[in-house]
């Protein structure tokens, strides 16, 4: 590390509120991504930081072992979230909602009406309409909703934002984000909403921008904001949206936009690739550059002066930091969280992206089908997509401006 490097937030739970009055917690969902929340809940229980009062499990037979564990801890298990909220109204400090996107708004609003604060996974909801309903319910209930954009909670991310606000690299001119995460075909069949635009009439708008890489799209907007707690709204959105998989939405995207009047934004994300390239956010200023590298480090490189850096925790530690901050916020409202106001611009971006361009099918002759030796789910990889995305990112260009044609002639 360079001189001036700060120590990492280790995610060791050292910042938890003092024992003695553990927060009363309810958990809706313990499967899928809910497994991560369940493990964090276990760790918090071991430290006496919370009391798990209730949990909702809709697949009781599949989760029989976990259900038995929860009951042994004195947790009441329900198969219906509305019944749980009704029975525990006014008796829960924090309701955890790590469920599918189509459930975020209705469950969050119901929990608020039951007098509970909420931690809901990102994105806050699948549409701006639903987000506005959540924010109305939040104000009416006098409770808070924290959103699971976990990186916003970490000291390293907030250190970088403050450096930008202090002019460490001059005026921010552009922010670009690139991420390539291969996903097998089974990724899109693991539940009833992945790759879908809506489920049962409720907006989901699932895509790399709204799901796996949603954290990093949100961070670009966060770094564009004019204050430490402000997330900028994107405008003048251009997009190229493609799919290699048989899904409603897209698995590959290049997006160009503006944040405010001055900051050029560029995003390039795909799940249809061979090579894994972890997300990196490159921020160019009038007097230097900053780089935020997933699970590694964020670095400020002024045109004049020494380089400064701050380590970033691994993703599991990032989640521990997030839970710590939210439990602190229960006792001290000045502790910063990712608020509904901070999460809304991300969903506005997603709606604008889908309005800006049709989703086009990638030409089959450009897609390699790679079957692992163990016979597990095949990987669909677009030939040459890694080099094309990286080149477009360096120039902040759309693929078609680079002479790269991926799609069939007409949108499907």
Q: What is the DSSP letter of 22?
A: P
| 232-288 pLDDT tens trace | 999 999 999 999 999 999 999 999 999 987 899 999 999 999 999 999 999 999 999
| Every domain range in the chain assigned CATH 3.40.50.720 | 23-147
State the Cα–Cα distance between residues 401 and 392, nearest whole angstrom. Answer: 8
Q: Is the pLDDT of residue 1 over 60?
A: no
* Residue positions counted in the chain: 412
**Radius of gyration for the chain, computed over Cα atoms and rounded to the nearest angstrom:** 21
Q: What is the pLDDT of residue 68?
A: 97
- Per-residue pLDDT, 10: 58
With residues binned 3-state (H G I as helix, E B as strand, rest as coil), the percentages for the chain, rounded to 5, are 35, 25, 40
State which fold the 155-313+340-402 domain adopts.
Dihydrodipicolinate Reductase; domain 2 (3.30.360)
Q: What is the mean pLDDT of residues 306-321?
A: 97
* Homologous superfamily (CATH) for 23-147: NAD(P)-binding Rossmann-like Domain (3.40.50.720)
DSSP symbols for 56-81: E-S-TTTTHHHHHHHHHTTPEEES-H
**Spatial contact of 400 and 240, defined as CB atoms under 8 Å apart:** yes
With 70 as the cut, is the pLDDT of residue 337 above it? yes
Arithmetic mean of pLDDT, 298-323: 96
Of 138, 157, 142, give the one whose Cα is nearest residue 279: 157
The reported pLDDT for the residue numbered 410 is 41
Tens digit of pLDDT for each residue in 147-184?
Answer: 999 999 999 999 999 999 999 999 999 999 999 999 99
Q: What average pLDDT score do residues 67-73 get?
A: 97
CB 357 within 8 A of CB 241: yes
Helix (H) / strand (E) element for 302: namely strand 297-302
Residue 4: the pLDDT is 37
Q: What is the pLDDT at residue 7?
A: 40
How much is the pLDDT for 3? 35
Task: Convert the pLDDT of each residue in 176-185 to its tens digit.
Answer: 999 999 999 9
* Run of H or E including 288: strand 288-293
Residue pair 368/386 in contact (Cβ under 8 Å)? The answer is: no
Rounded distance, CA 225 to CA 210, Å? Answer: 19
Confirm if 179 and 269 have CB atoms less than 8 A apart: yes
pLDDT digits (tens, 9 = 90+) for 201-243: 999 999 999 999 999 999 999 999 999 999 999 999 999 999 9
3-state secondary structure 339-386: CHHHHHHHHHHHHHHHHHCCEEEECHHHEEEECCCCCCCCEEEECCHH
Three-state DSSP class for 38? helix
DSSP character at residue 19:
T
pLDDT of res. 137: 98
pLDDT at 391 over 90: yes
For CATH 3.30.360.10, list the domain ranges present in the chain: 155-313+340-402
**Structure confidence at residue 8 (pLDDT):** 41
pLDDT at 19: 64
């Amino acid at each position: 590390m360079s001189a001036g490097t700060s120590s990492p937030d280790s995610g060791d739970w050292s910042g938890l509120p003092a024992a003695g009055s553990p927060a009363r917690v309810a958990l809706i969902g313990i499967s899928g991504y809910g497994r991560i929340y369940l493990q964090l809940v276990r760790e918090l229980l071991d430290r006496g930081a919370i009391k798990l009062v209730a949990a909702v499990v809709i697949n009781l037979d599949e989760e029989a072992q976990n259900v038995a564990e929860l009951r042994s801890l004195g947790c009441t298990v329900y198969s219906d979230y509305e019944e749980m909220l009704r029975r525990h109204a006014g008796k829960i400090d924090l309701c955890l909602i790590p469920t599918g996107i189509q459930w975020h708004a209705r469950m969050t609003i119901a929990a608020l009406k039951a007098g509970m604060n909420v931690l809901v996974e990102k994105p806050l909801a699948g549409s701006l309409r639903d987000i506005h309903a959540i924010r109305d319910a939040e104000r009416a209930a006098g409770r808070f909703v924290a959103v699971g954009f976990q990186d916003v909670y970490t000291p390293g991310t907030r250190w970088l934002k403050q450096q930008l606000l202090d002019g460490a690299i001059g005026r921010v001119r552009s922010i670009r984000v690139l991420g390539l995460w291969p996903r097998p075909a089974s990724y899109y069949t693991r539940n009833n909403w992945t790759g879908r635009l809506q489920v049962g009439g409720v907006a989901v708008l699932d895509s790399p921008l709204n799901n796996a890489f949603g954290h990093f799209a949100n961070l670009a907007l966060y770094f564009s904001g004019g204050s430490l707690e402000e997330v900028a709204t994107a405008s003048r959105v251009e997009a190229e949206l493609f799919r290699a998989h048989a899904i409603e939405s897209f698995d590959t995207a290049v997006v160009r936009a503006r944040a405010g009047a001055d900051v050029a934004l560029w995003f390039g994300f795909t799940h249809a690739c061979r090579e894994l390239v972890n997300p990196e956010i490159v921020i160019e200023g009038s007097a230097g550059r900053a780089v935020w590298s997933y699970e590694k480090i964020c670095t400020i490189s002024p045109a004049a002066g020494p380089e400064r850096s701050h380590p970033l925790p691994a993703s599991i530690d990032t989640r521990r930091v997030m839970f710590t901050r939210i439990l602190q916020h229960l006792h001290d409202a000045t502790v910063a969280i990712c608020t509904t106001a901070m999460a809304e611009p991300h969903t506005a971006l997603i709606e604008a992206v889908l309005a800006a361009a049709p989703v086009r099918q990638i030409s089959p002759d450009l897609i390699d089908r790679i079957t692992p030796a163990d016979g597990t789910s095949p990987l669909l990889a677009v030939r040459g997509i890694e080099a094309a995305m990286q080149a477009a990112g360096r120039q902040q260009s759309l693929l078609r401006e680079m002479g790269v044609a991926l799609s069939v002639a007409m949108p499907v």
